Amino acid sequence: MDKLLEEYTELIDHKLREYFKTVLEEEKAYHPFIGDVFAQVEEFLLRKGKRIASCSTLLTYKGYTGEIEDVLDICVGIELYRHGILIHDDLVDRDEKRRGGGVFHKLFTYEDRFGESIAVFCGNILFSQALKTLFESNFDVVGKVIQLFLEDYKAVNESQTLDLLFEHKEPTVEEWYVMASKRAASLFKASMLTGAILGGAPAQDLQILEEAAMHIGYSFDIQDDIIGTFASEEQYGRATGGDILLGKKPLHVVYAYKLANRDLQQELRDIIKAKKVGADGIDRIQKIIKECGALAKTKEASRDHANRAIKLINKTSMNAESKNFFKDLIDFVTENLDWYQ
């Protein structure tokens, strides 16, 4: 998996550089500052990282065609789309870092409102540019992919709306799944089905992949939230427990409110309500989540979704290389869960 990700990430990055070379020339001709903004967008997109979304599109497409060259421009669209969402997400969550660098809305001078406003506009621009990239492709069925993007963009924003609501209420496990069904699950649906549709996958496989993408998304979300709560800032690249102190309710916190006794539930509420509580507060949150069994329960859920996803991937008619990529990717997620005891 790592070898494939490294190989295909390099190809996608090359296409992104080609894309921005043309775009920067056009934007600088319009206005020097807009050219500078797009240069920041390019830097933001090209920061080192695994391009799991666009590689999922590429590997799914290759799984049905054996080819990759024709889909690389589509992968550029996937990355533009994904990073537009990330720019907005970082702004709403008041994050400070993204892949070792500053979040996009912190890359500009003047007052905070200036950078935040630029982030809103640039996130919107990236969505429009992603659709433009799809429109300009040579695929006959690209209309189906554009419809998929539009549906997914609406879904992700609905999920973020519920995520924001949950900062002010305690969701049930069922409500958390309603929210998460349109979070990472939507992104994997869009990226994998894009590759499948463009690759001419049979209708039965499209249904299987949509269900598999949902389970992969759930497993990823659960794992990522656990990392955010339990990994150090050096490991994670962000402050430990930052999302919880913002009031967010990852599944392990939802389960803690369900499984812990009343005293521990109230203690957890008090710590989260206090927000900036420092390392001692984070340490106590971690202990409560572990001691009441919420961490174990959440790990179990992630592994269950991972196992379901692998079974579904095996049912498709993709080639062995692509199947093995997704199975290795899913295994990597569940193996990470063992780091946190």
pLDDT computed for residue 236 by the predictor? 60
Q: Is 112 left (phi over 0), alpha (psi -120 to 50) or beta?
A: alpha
pLDDT computed for residue 238 by the predictor? 64
pLDDT computed for residue 69 by the predictor? 94
How does pLDDT run across 256-307, given as a tens digit for each residue?
A: 999 999 999 999 999 888 876 677 888 999 999 999 999 999 999 999 999 9
Q: Is the pLDDT of residue 233 over 70?
A: no
In order, the DSSP letters of 205-227 are: HHHHHHHHHHHHHHHHHHHHHHH
pLDDT computed for residue 226 by the predictor? 92
Q: Give 106's DSSP letter.
A: G
CA 254 to chain centroid: 20
Question: Lowest mean pLDDT: which of 174-178, 251-255, 330-334?
Answer: 330-334
CATH H-level superfamily of 1-141: Farnesyl Diphosphate Synthase (1.10.600.10)
Q: How does strand 101-102 pair with strand 97-98?
A: antiparallel
Q: How confident is the model at residue 225 (pLDDT cuts 50, 70, 90)?
A: very high
Task: Assess whether the region 1-141 and the region 202-341 belong to the same CATH fold.
Answer: yes
The residue whose two tokens read 């492709």 is 137
How does pLDDT run across 312-341, given as a tens digit for each residue?
A: 999 999 999 999 999 999 998 888 777 765
Least Cα distance to 16 among 57, 102, 61, 75 occurs for 75
pLDDT computed for residue 157 by the predictor? 96
Q: Is 231 left (phi over 0), alpha (psi -120 to 50) or beta?
A: beta
Q: What tokens does 212 get?
A: 């598999």
Contact 246, 275 (CB under 8 A): yes
pLDDT computed for residue 234 by the predictor? 66
- Residue 304 CB burial class (10 angstroms; 0-12, 13-18, ≥19): middle
How does pLDDT run across 31-88, given as a tens digit for each residue?
A: 999 999 999 999 999 998 889 999 999 999 999 999 999 999 999 999 999 999 999 9
In order, the DSSP letters of 258-288 are: HHS-HHHHHHHHHHHHH---HHHHHHHHHHH
Non-local CB neighbours of 51 within 8 Å, separated by 6+ positions: 5, 8, 9, 12, 13, 75, 79
% of the chain surpassing 70 pLDDT: 96
Q: Is the pLDDT of residue 159 over 80?
A: yes
pLDDT computed for residue 335 by the predictor? 84
pLDDT computed for residue 277 by the predictor? 65
CA–CA gap between residue 124 and residue 130 (Å, rounded) = 10
pLDDT computed for residue 48 by the predictor? 83
What's the whole-number mean pLDDT along residues 185-204? 97
- Ordered by start, the domain boundaries in the chain are 1-141, 202-341
Given the candidates 2.60.40.1080, 3.40.50.150, 1.10.600.10, 3.10.310.10, the CATH classification of the domain at 202-341 is 1.10.600.10
The residue whose two tokens read 């995520």 is 163
CA 130 to chain centroid: 16
pLDDT computed for residue 3 by the predictor? 86
Mean pLDDT, the chain, as a whole number? 92
What dihedral do alpha carbons 265, 267, 272, 276 form, nearest 10°? -170
Q: Is the pLDDT of residue 309 over 70?
A: yes
CA–CA gap between residue 235 and residue 221 (Å, rounded) = 17
CA dihedral for 174, 176, 182, 186, sign (positive or negative): negative
How does pLDDT run across 92-103, given as a tens digit for each residue?
A: 988 888 887 889
Least Cα distance to 61 among 327, 332, 325, 333 occurs for 325
% of the chain surpassing 90 pLDDT: 79
The residue whose two tokens read 């919420």 is 294
Q: Which is more confident, 239 or 294? A: 294
What's the whole-number mean pLDDT along residues 111-125? 95
Alpha helices in the chain (DSSP H): 2-30, 32-45, 52-65, 72-93, 112-135, 142-165, 173-180, 184-198, 203-230, 233-236, 242-245, 251-259, 262-274, 278-291, 294-315, 320-337
